[in-house]
Structure 1
């Protein structure tokens, strides 16, 4: 017990140690606070979109004469929702670069989808200050500052030779020092996660323990790396530089190189090409035979084939047929773009094993369902809803059915589908085996450290 108190006193005696621990907890608290505000803002935007749409629907129903179906379809801008987990407040992933409450009309989908893309998520390298950033980048630095000079400090003070003269004393003492530091940092991580769970009303379910387990495994890796660096018996300056260099390579250079490689392999101007081609097809349709356009449309949308031929006057059903045909004109480009993004994401997941920081960050985004893969799922839900919306209005336009107030009330609303967390068991197993191998190597080498 006396030895434990002595080690605690040594751990918290240094100004640097106390400062880095305080900075870690303060940055974590600030990240949780900022994430909670950002998540609240996103949820408010989604709620406002629904409220505004409901008000618009009530306004339409309050009119003496309801507008015709084509006009109603043109102005009806229905909200959608990326159903975000509260974990998105802690690990924001791709949510800042995607509209999480995109409004959709029954007109051409692709122009709406890509005209709204303010930030290209494929070009994002790092997010803002969220809890994921603190754990991925700051946590290893805290571990390094508290651990990597333990042996060199003992050597400099002249105690390492004395401890090595006693059977097992040096390694036992080092093990206790490392265990104490691991426990302190782990408890701080637990405090941050529990605080976040209480603030965001997160359940202490399997997901919570998975995040804690992944963070613990990430900590073990950096502790093992610090032990391996100490095992070479160098002085404090060399150990610190070696650890910092390892952090730069593993947390910054390798992830940067991976993103640079993927940008070169999967670089695509598809969004611009899709938008231009869709717009060109849509505009050229005004100069083409309208009945021919409608006939071609009906070969794809067979439920409305019994519609009456077009007359001389403007007809909404031709307008929406032309809108849909412009989408079909770029369908192959859209599918290729989606496949390109999926291939890029799959390659990123595979290459992430080269960097524990990148692997950990991607894993946190996957657990929070804020990764690029979930963004693609949300976009697919929007596309499916757009089809439902189109078909709702087609019944009125193609069969000349009048719109009633009940029809306005029955307008289909977007229903966000629950997205299941993707499994990545092989990555966890690979990571655990890698960490165990590094621990074994570090322990084997630390036994060979000679007196200074």
Structure 2
């Protein structure tokens, strides 16, 4: 017990150690606050979209005469919602740079997805600090500062030979020092997660415990790296530089190399091509035979083949037929873009095994439903909802049915879905096995370390 008190006193006596722990705690608190504010803004945007649409629907129903179905379809911007987990407040992922409440009309879909400003620079938050950033990038630095010079400091102070002469081995003393530091940092992480869960009303469910387990495993990896570096018995400068180099490689260089490789491997200008091709198709459509356009449309949408031929006057049927045909024109590009993104995501999952930092970050984003795969699922849901809206209005436009107030009330609303996710057991087992091997190697080397 006396030795434990002495180790605690030694850990917290140094100004650097106390400052590092304090900065880590402050950074975590600030990250929780900033993430919570960003998540609150996203949720407010989603809520506002629903309220505005409801007010617009009430305004339409108060009119004595309802507009034509084509006019309603043109102005009815129905809100959608990216179903984010409450944990998105802590692990932002892709949600900070993408639309999370896209409004959809019955007009051409792809121009609504791509031909818009994705991010308003005036509304963009400075930086990207969230709790995920603190855990992925700052946590390893804290571990390194508190641990990597333990043995070299003992050697420099002349106590290493004395520790080896004690009945209990020097390895046992070092192991206790590492365990104490692991416990202190782990408790700080738990404090941050529990505080965030309480402040943000996050459930203490499977995600909570999965985050704790993943963070603990991530800490074991970096403690093993520190122990392995210490086992060479070099100076404090050498140990610090080697650990910092390891952090740069695993947390910076490897993830950057992976993303650079994927960007070159799956480079695509599909969004620009889709927007341009669809715009050209829509513009050219005004110069084509309108009845022929409608006939071509009915070949794709056979449910409305019983519609009457077009007359000389402007007809909404032709307008929306042209809009849909522009989507058909870019359908292949859209599918290729989706397939390319899917292959990129699969490659990213495989290559993330090269970097524990990248792997850990991806898993946190997946738990919060803020990964690039979740973004792709949301876009697919928007496309499916767009089809519901089109078909809802087609019944009125193609069969000359008047829109009633009951029909306005029965307008289909977007139902956000959270895609089912499976756990890549093999990847998790391989990662755990790799860390276990690293722990064993570091332990064996520390046991063999002798006084200089």
Q: What TM-score bracket applies, with the shorter chain setting the length?
A: over 0.9
Aligned to 1:433: 433
Aligned to 1:277: 277
> Which whole-Å CA distance do the structure 1 matches of 2:403 and 2:410 have between them?
11
Shift of 1:298: 0.6
Shift of 1:450: 1.7
Asked if 2 retains the 8 angstrom alpha-carbon contact of 1:83 and 1:418, the reply is: yes
The reply to whether residue 95 of structure 1 matches residue 95 of structure 2 is yes
Aligned to 1:111: 111
Asked if 2 retains the 8 angstrom alpha-carbon contact of 1:163 and 1:169, the reply is: yes
The reply to whether residue 368 of structure 1 matches residue 404 of structure 2 is no
The reply to whether residue 35 of structure 1 matches residue 52 of structure 2 is no
Asked if 2 retains the 8 angstrom alpha-carbon contact of 1:46 and 1:100, the reply is: yes
Shift of 1:127: 7.1
Asked if 2 retains the 8 angstrom alpha-carbon contact of 1:93 and 1:127, the reply is: no
Aligned to 1:325: 325
Shift of 1:191: 0.4
> Which whole-Å CA distance do the structure 1 matches of 2:215 and 2:427 have between them?
14
Aligned to 1:310: 310
The reply to whether residue 354 of structure 1 matches residue 354 of structure 2 is yes
> Which whole-Å CA distance do the structure 1 matches of 2:61 and 2:150 have between them?
74
The reply to whether residue 247 of structure 1 matches residue 252 of structure 2 is no
Asked if 1 retains the 8 angstrom alpha-carbon contact of 2:152 and 2:235, the reply is: yes
> Which whole-Å CA distance do the structure 2 matches of 1:233 and 1:314 have between them?
85
Residue 286 of structure 2 aligns to a residue in which SS?
Answer: helix
Aligned to 1:144: 144
> Which whole-Å CA distance do the structure 2 matches of 1:438 and 1:367 have between them?
26
Shift of 1:418: 2.3
> Which whole-Å CA distance do the structure 1 matches of 2:168 and 2:2 have between them?
19
Residue 327 of structure 1 aligns to a residue in which SS?
Answer: helix
Shift of 1:405: 0.8
> Which whole-Å CA distance do the structure 1 matches of 2:264 and 2:127 have between them?
21
5+ residue gaps, structure 2: 121-125
Asked if 2 retains the 8 angstrom alpha-carbon contact of 1:224 and 1:438, the reply is: yes
The reply to whether residue 409 of structure 1 matches residue 409 of structure 2 is yes
> Which whole-Å CA distance do the structure 2 matches of 1:422 and 1:26 have between them?
35
Q: How does 1:217-228 map to 2 (within 5 A)?
A: 217-228=217-228
Q: 1:279-332 CA distances to partner (integer Å, 9 max, x unpaired)?
A: 111111111111111111111111100000011111000100000000000000
Shift of 1:202: 1.2
Aligned to 1:53: 53
> Which whole-Å CA distance do the structure 2 matches of 1:24 and 1:331 have between them?
49
Shift of 1:87: 0.4
> Which whole-Å CA distance do the structure 2 matches of 1:450 and 1:351 have between them?
38
Q: 1:60-104 CA distances to partner (integer Å, 9 max, x unpaired)?
A: 111121100000000000000001111000000000121000000
Q: How does 1:200-219 map to 2 (within 5 A)?
A: 200-219=200-219
> Which whole-Å CA distance do the structure 2 matches of 1:422 and 1:32 have between them?
27
Shift of 1:426: 1.9
Aligned to 2:133: 133
Asked if 2 retains the 8 angstrom alpha-carbon contact of 1:369 and 1:421, the reply is: no
Asked if 1 retains the 8 angstrom alpha-carbon contact of 2:83 and 2:369, the reply is: no
Residue 447 of structure 1 aligns to a residue in which SS?
Answer: helix
> Which whole-Å CA distance do the structure 2 matches of 1:343 and 1:12 have between them?
49
Aligned to 2:14: 14
5+ residue gaps, structure 1: 121-125
Give structure 1 regions of 4+ aligned residues with deviation exceeding 6 angstroms: none
Aligned length, in residue pairs? 447
Q: 1:371-404 CA distances to partner (integer Å, 9 max, x unpaired)?
A: 0000000000000000000000000000000011
Aligned to 1:69: 69
Aligned to 2:123: none
Aligned to 1:185: 185
Q: TM-score, normalised by structure 1?
A: 0.97
Q: TM-score, normalised by structure 2?
A: 0.97
Asked if 1 retains the 8 angstrom alpha-carbon contact of 2:99 and 2:119, the reply is: no
> Which whole-Å CA distance do the structure 2 matches of 1:428 and 1:215 have between them?
13
> Which whole-Å CA distance do the structure 1 matches of 2:444 and 2:397 have between them?
77
Shift of 1:446: 0.7
Cα RMSD after superposing both structures: 1.2
> Which whole-Å CA distance do the structure 2 matches of 1:295 and 1:202 have between them?
54
Shift of 1:166: 2.8
Asked if 2 retains the 8 angstrom alpha-carbon contact of 1:367 and 1:421, the reply is: no
The reply to whether residue 82 of structure 1 matches residue 82 of structure 2 is yes
> Which whole-Å CA distance do the structure 2 matches of 1:369 and 1:417 have between them?
11
Residue 101 of structure 2 aligns to a residue in which SS?
Answer: coil
> Which whole-Å CA distance do the structure 2 matches of 1:59 and 1:66 have between them?
10
> Which whole-Å CA distance do the structure 2 matches of 1:127 and 1:340 have between them?
29
Q: 1:212-255 CA distances to partner (integer Å, 9 max, x unpaired)?
A: 00000000000000000000000101000000000001100111
Residue 101 of structure 1 aligns to a residue in which SS?
Answer: coil
Residue 6 of structure 1 aligns to a residue in which SS?
Answer: helix
> Which whole-Å CA distance do the structure 2 matches of 1:445 and 1:211 have between them?
31
> Which whole-Å CA distance do the structure 2 matches of 1:250 and 1:329 have between them?
44
> Which whole-Å CA distance do the structure 1 matches of 2:199 and 2:104 have between them?
33
Q: 1:132-178 CA distances to partner (integer Å, 9 max, x unpaired)?
A: 00000000000000000000011111111111123442111101100
